[in-house]
Amino acid sequence: MRFPRFSFFLLCLFCAILLFAFTLLLTSTAPTDLPAKLASLSLFVLALAMTLEAPLLTRGVQQLGSGANTRDWIRSLLILVFLIFFLMLLERGERLMDFSEDGFHQLRQSSIRFLAQRKFSLTVFAMRNRDAELYGILERFLEVLQTHLPQASVRWIDPSTQPTQARESGIRTLPSILVQGEADTVLIGRSQLFGNMGKTARGRAFYGESALVEAVKSLENSQVVHLLFPELGKGPFLDLSAGGYSQFVQLLKSQGFLPSISETLPSTSEPTLVFLPPRKIPLPLSLELVKRIQSGAKTILFFEPSPHQPLGELSREMEWEYLGFPVVDPLRNAGNELSFLLPHFGSHPIAARLDNHFPVLLPGTSAFLSNSPRAQPILRSSSFSWAENPSGGSKNPVFNPESERKGPLDLALGIGENLVLLADQGFLSNEFLPHPGNQALILNSLYFLSGRLERASAYPKFISERPLQVPEQTRRNWIALILFLLPLSAWCIGGLLSFLRWREQYSSK
Amino acid sequence: MNQFFLLSAHLLRVQISSSGTYYILGAFWLLLAYIFSLSMVQVRQANIIPVFWWAGFSSLFLIPILCLNTYLKGSVDNFFTLQRTLGISTASITLGYFVQRVVLLLLLDSILAIQYGFLVLYGSPDHGLHTCAFLGLLCLQMAYLSVSLFVSSLSKDRILTMMTSVGLLLGLWLLSYANQLFSGILTPLGQILRKGSLYYPFSHFLSGAFYPTELLSLCIWIFFPLWLCSIQGKR
Amino acid sequence: MLELHQVSKRFQDIEALCNISLSLKKGEVSLLLGPNGAGKTTLIRILAGLLGYDCGFLSLNGLEVPKRGALPYSIGYLGEGELLDPDLKVQTLLRFIGLLKGLDQSRQQVRDWARKFGIEHTLKRRISHLSSGHKQRVALAQCFLGNPDVLLLDEPGNSLDPAQYREFEKILLRERKDKIILLSTHRLLDIERIGDRLILLNEGRIMAQGRKEDLLHSMGAHTHKLVLERTDPSLSWSLIQSNYQFQTQDHRTFYFPHWNMPIQNQIFKLLSVRATPVNSLESFHQRIEDVFFEYLEKEKGKKT
């Protein structure tokens, strides 16, 4: 009996080690690097087997082409060289073909237009082996960026090989991007690029586009914005803590705005955010506001549920009615885990740039009513919501047609080009300010009023991972069963064919 | 051309009536079903992209096995030789065997379509992303197939063929990490080697976006070894 | 007519064929003879288009056959190894080959040839389940299928029992009239039974080729044997003087390679002059293998 070659045993060993490594990888519950070590060992075994077979392999290569002549081989080689050269030529300026639903890998046209008009350079600090997935996303993003903006220079620095440069640049997290303008630099850290580092239910978020646009914006001259907080620190919303008001100011600064706190209404026409007090608005403030808005000055007004019908004269003139009572979505009472309202976007230019995948979150809100042609909804409630009787407090509010109105109701309105009304200051409270959708709404409002709507930020995109909506265990088990039945069926068919062939052979004997 | 179709139809008939086909199908489907079920049952998320990745990686070992016997049946003069005397060109014969195995690959990958069907039924998957990933997987497997067919045409030694195919394909997979090995002046070399790897374009297909040159690179890996195969068997 | 003109083939450091020139005519069975390693299989594979050649050219009816591309003639090829896919059924294989050869009515033709080669009962069996004799018959059947222009058979007698081989001979002789047939064989009986032309190959070179009778004569296969009642050395001397070809060891038994009426009359005249009585005169055929081996030894001797 001919004994198999030693390399045959090595090949079997290679397969066995690899199989064991993958079984471990797929079945282990605790993280372990044993599969990786076993995989490396298997590669070593394969390399050893190939070394033993090298003489045979060389002979095989020498015998190859016993039919074809030298001319054929030279021709093949030339074709290969030509193809490689052709590929390298094609690479210049080629466009990415992005089939993902969100256009995850693409830059938005508004971002491209914005960035193309600015001069900046990027220095990227990243270590590939440590964060392979993040590095890949970043690399792809910058490749696309350079395709659309060839004038943007990008430099990569690996802190493991160039620690001094990394240290001098002041980076603290990896990956990071240093954006250099003509006179200033802005650092985009890991959390700005990738947000919440744990994967969300929607997958890995990447904010690179918006972070870059914001960084470039902040390199430019800032637009002054006035903030009027008559009762700052006293209300339940933005407070004086680090996560409150100062975070809001930081946000504005990062977006190229220069916030200026006022206790009185400024007389300039520069955009002004006015947080109306929850109780009755003082008359002087009310009169000043009316005068300001009637003069066409750019203003954003934040309302609270009470007082009812503030700024009466202005309301009449602008033809809007402030309903003032909280609007509650019926899902809230159905035990939905969401504790806040997700409004729908209207047709206003501010809302058109908001992303449906990352909506504005509100704990509850008031509503406006307007039939004026000058008024355009920015946020709307669902058509099923109704106003809850504020004095009821019952779990199942009863719709009162005399005092309440059915949806959809406008939760934010734009009146002409100078006035934006937003109901409920709660959506800019400490709790909800960090949500990019909420930030985007107020920032887009400021861009709109300052005539810079093209600077509306790009919103984070997600790798499209959609969770399977299969709540019941039974249904999941059924799916698994069907999937395991398929290989079983294939084996049964194979077994049947083998049996038939065996029977044929047996009968022929 | 007519002979090519006849040959392909014949080879497909042989494939479907072979019990080995079904054993391989079963094993491959079992692996992918396990991975899909793992994510669905444990994580409550049906993410099919890792299944694509595992399909691509396990094909690296499966496809050389499928190609082992292509040129090895019989002894020196075998069925391949007989077909050549019937006036069928080596290109047609090579392509015929290739088409036969591509159909087998499509059968193997059909379970991914079933899994995707579950996603469509119960979720809202990204159609563009998954179509792109499937295209990438098919191109990767066809590239494996070409390379394995070429290697199996070089030698009649099964062990050598298997080892060389797997080693070569693994090497092409690992080339995607070449840019980590080369730095400084050799960085462009690392980048070229990475772009020449099989895994690098595949990973981009899995993310739903790719450059046309990456698709072209995979096509070169599919057709060039087939071309070498056909001229190898010429008179 | 299929011709080779100065064809040579080299495998690395081995010269398999050197300056081979031969003609194969339609309606003739040409036998390719030679020891192992002579180059018979290489020559057949070149004619089948399976191997290229280094120099020279092929021509069909005076027109040169291009070195690359399809051959201008259809082939029925029988190689020396296992040609058939062992996993296929006989019927499937033959029908497939019939379709590849462009036969519209392949089913009928398959049945006909299966009947001729006595493999009708094996049509539904797999090739791997057949005996080697049956496999060879299936291989022969696929050769003849489609009425090819050229039949190239490398040792067709392998694994066939005498009865089966007889049947094959009958089929070959019946089918030869519109075909060019080249048959490589170690069975010297084929020379007598089916060969029309002989091609002797040794170490890649043609040692001899031509019509069977002429070649055998030139090799020294004697045709008549004359036995005298007593020894007569003077007869030998007279025969030499008269330029007759003969062979004798004892001046009593004479072997003549050429014999016809005029020669017979002349020799009898010589005998009657001497009054030498004749014991017997008969047709004599030396065994072909003896002729063959003697010839080879002679050629070897010439070389050394």
| Residues forming beta bridges with residue A224, ordered by sequence position | A258
Identify the bridge partners of residue A421 per DSSP, sorted by sequence position. A301, A413
How near does any CA of chain A get to the CA of C126, in Å? 8
Across A423-432, B61-70, C85-94, C102-111, the highest mean pLDDT is recorded for C85-94
- As given in the structure block, the two tokens for residue C264 are 């017979």
CATH-assigned architecture of domain C2-209: 3-Layer(aba) Sandwich (3.40)
Q: Is C272 exposed, middle or buried (0-12, 13-18, 19+ CB in 10 A)?
A: exposed
Q: Choose the closest CB to A61 out of B19, B20, B154.
A: B154
For residue A202, give the nearest of A459, A476, A475, A483 by alpha carbon: A459
Contact A490, B26 (CB under 8 A): yes
Of C51, C88, C100, the CB nearest to B86: C100
The residue-averaged pLDDT of B159-186 equals 79
B-C contacts at Cβ under 8 angstroms: 70
Chain C partners of A500 at a C-beta cutoff of 8 Å?
none
Whether the CB-CB separation of C171 and C116 falls below 8 Å is answered with yes
Residue type, C41: T
pLDDT at residue B34 tops 60: yes
Give the Cα separation of C84 and C51 in Å (integer): 19
The Cβ of residue A116 has, within 10 Å, a number of other Cβ atoms equal to 12
Q: Is the dihedral of CA C241, C246, C250, C251 positive or negative?
A: negative
Instruction: State whether residue B15 sits within 8 Å of chain A by CB.
Output: no
Q: How far apart are CA A501 and CA B6, in angstroms?
A: 25
**Strand pairing partners for C283?**
C224
Half-sphere exposure of B134 (CA within 13 A, CB side): 19
- Decide: B147 and B168 in contact? Cβ < 8 Å: yes
- Per the CB < 8 Å rule, is B131 touching A99? yes
Chains that touch C (3 or more CB pairs under 8 A): A, B
Sign of the Cα pseudo-torsion (C284, C288, C289, C295, in order)? positive
Which pLDDT score, from 0 to 100, does residue B75 have? 41
B contact chains, 3+ CB pairs < 8 A: A, C
C142-160 burial code (b ≥16 CB/10 A, e <16): bbbbbebbbbbbbbbbbbb
User: Residue B227 and residue C57: Cα distance in Å, rounded?
Assistant: 27
Interchain contact, A98 vs B209, CB within 8 Å: yes
Least confident among A50-54, C96-100, C297-301: C297-301
d(CA C233, CA A207): 120
B 49-108 → A contacts, CB under 8 A: 49, 61, 90
Q: Report the residue of chain A nearest C130, measured CA to CA.
A: A508
Count of CB atoms situated within 10 Å of the CB of A41 = 15
Spatial distance between the Cα atoms of A458 and C157, rounded to a whole number of angstroms: 82
In this complex, which of A76, A468, A491 lies closest to B231 when CB atoms are compared? A76
- C129 and A67 within 8 Å at the Cβ level: the answer is no
Strand A461-462 with A419-423, pairing: unpaired
A/C interface, count of CB pairs below 8 Å: 14
List all residues of chain B from 133 to 172 with a beta carbon under 8 Å from chain A. Answer: 154-155, 157, 159-160, 162-164, 166-167, 170
The predicted structure's pLDDT at residue A336: 34
Tokens representing residue A506 in the block:
């047996």
Q: Residue C300: enclosing H or E segment and its boundaries?
A: helix C288-303
In which residue are the tokens 């885990």 written? Answer: A337
Mutate to test the interface with C, among B6, B79, B97 (most CBs of C within 10 A): B79
Residue C34: both structure tokens together: 């030679």
Each residue's pLDDT tens digit, B121-136: 776 677 888 899 999 9
**Selected residue with higher pLDDT from C284 and A170:** A170
Q: Rounded to a whole number, what is the distance in Å from the CA of B136 to chain C's nearest CA?
A: 34
pLDDT of residue C147: 86
Q: What's residue A1's pLDDT?
A: 47
pLDDT at B17 over 80: yes
DSSP one-letter string for A348-411: SHHHHTS-TTS---BSSB--EEE--TTEEEEEE--TT-EE--TTT--SSPPP-TTT--BS--EE
Among A319, A264, A316, A320, CA closest to A292: A264
Residue B167 sits at the chain C interface (C-beta within 8 Å) = no
In terms of average pLDDT, the best of A158-162, B142-146, B183-187 is B142-146
Nearest CA in chain A to C127: A505
Average pLDDT score, chain C: 82
Asked whether the beta carbons of residue B234 and residue C51 sit closer than 8 angstroms, the reply is: no
Give the whole-angstrom CA distance, residue B104 versus residue B145: 11
Report DSSP state, residue A425. G
Give chain B positions within 8 Å (CB) of A68.
Answer: 231-232, 234
Strands (E), chain C: 2-11, 14-24, 29-33, 55-60, 63-65, 75-78, 150-154, 180-184, 197-202, 205-211, 224-228, 247-248, 253-256, 278-283
SS3 (DSSP) at C288: helix
For residue A40, give both structure tokens: 């490396």
Structure-token pair, residue A134:
């993040």
User: Sign (positive/negative) of CA torsion C88, C91, C96, C100?
Assistant: positive
The reply to whether residue B77 touches residue C81, judged by beta carbons under 8 angstroms, is yes
For A295, counting Cβ atoms within 10 Å of its Cβ (0-12 exposed, 13-18 middle, 19+ buried), the class is exposed
Identify the CA nearest to C227 among candidates C251, C243, C196.
C251
Measured distance CA(A29)–CA(A42) in Å, rounded:
23
Q: Which residues of A touch B126 (CB under 8 A)?
A: 100-102, 464, 466
C249-271 confidence digits (pLDDT tens): 788 888 887 777 787 888 888 88
Among A427, A87, A65, C124, smallest CA distance to B90 is for A65
Structure tokens at A205: 């978020």
Q: Give the pLDDT score at B26.
A: 92
Q: How many CB atoms lie within 10 A of CB C174?
A: 9
Alpha helices, DSSP H, located in A234-390: 245-254, 283-294, 312-318, 330-333, 349-352
Parallel, antiparallel, or unpaired for β A176-180 and A185-188?
Answer: antiparallel
Max CA distance (Å), chain A: 112
User: Which chain C residue is nearest to residue A501, measuring alpha carbons?
Assistant: C126
Q: Quick one: closest CA in A to B225, which residue?
A: A76
What separation in angstroms does the CA of A92 have from each of A114, A287, B163?
23, 62, 38
**Global pTM?**
0.71
Quick one: tokens of A219? Answer: 């390199």
Contact B86 C75 (CB under 8 A): yes
Place of tokens 């934006």: A420
Task: Give the start-to-end residue ranges of the domains of chain C.
Answer: 2-209, 222-283
Optimal mutation site among C55, C90, C129, interface A, most CBs of chain A within 10 A: C129
Give the whole-angstrom CA distance, residue B100 versus residue B75: 22
- Distance in Å, alpha carbon of B234 to nearest chain C alpha carbon: 8
The pLDDT score that the predictor gives to residue A349 is: 85
Q: Among the CATH numbers 3.30.750, 3.55.50, 3.40.1350, 3.30.70, which is that of C222-283?
A: 3.30.70
Whole-angstrom distance, CA of residue C284 vs CA of residue C247: 13
Instruction: Judge whether A46 is closer than 8 Å to chain B, CB to CB.
Output: yes
Within 13 A of A469's CA, how many CA atoms are on the CB side? Answer: 7
The b-or-e profile of B131-140 (16+ CB within 10 A means b, else e) is ebbbebbbbb
Which of A87, A487, A496 lies closest to B26 in CB terms? A487
Predicted confidence (pLDDT) at residue B145 exceeds the cutoff of 90: yes
A479: which chain B residues are within 8 Å (Cβ-Cβ)? 37, 40, 118
> For residue C277, what is the DSSP state?
P
Q: Hey, which chains touch A, using 3+ CB pairs under 8 Å?
A: B, C
Residue whose tokens read 């009615």:
A321
C190 compared with B217, residue with greater pLDDT: B217
H or E element: which one contains A78?
helix A70-91
Contacts of B172 in chain A (CB under 8 A): none
What does the pLDDT profile of chain A (509 residues) look like in tens digits?
455 678 778 888 888 888 888 778 777 767 677 887 888 888 888 888 888 877 777 766 665 555 556 777 788 888 888 888 888 777 766 777 888 776 777 788 778 888 888 889 999 998 876 666 678 788 888 888 888 888 888 988 888 777 888 788 778 888 899 999 888 888 888 888 887 655 554 456 788 888 888 888 878 777 888 888 766 666 566 676 766 778 888 888 877 788 888 778 888 888 898 888 777 778 888 888 888 888 888 999 888 766 556 688 888 888 888 877 666 554 444 433 333 566 777 788 888 777 666 678 776 677 888 888 889 999 887 665 554 444 444 555 566 677 666 667 888 899 988 889 888 777 777 777 877 778 888 888 998 888 877 777 655 565 544 444 554 666 667 777 888 889 999 999 999 999 988 888 777 66
Q: Count CA within 13 A, CB hemisphere, residue A11.
A: 21
Judge whether A472 is closer than 8 Å to chain B, CB to CB.
no
Rounded-to-integer distance, Cα B136 and Cα B126, Å: 16
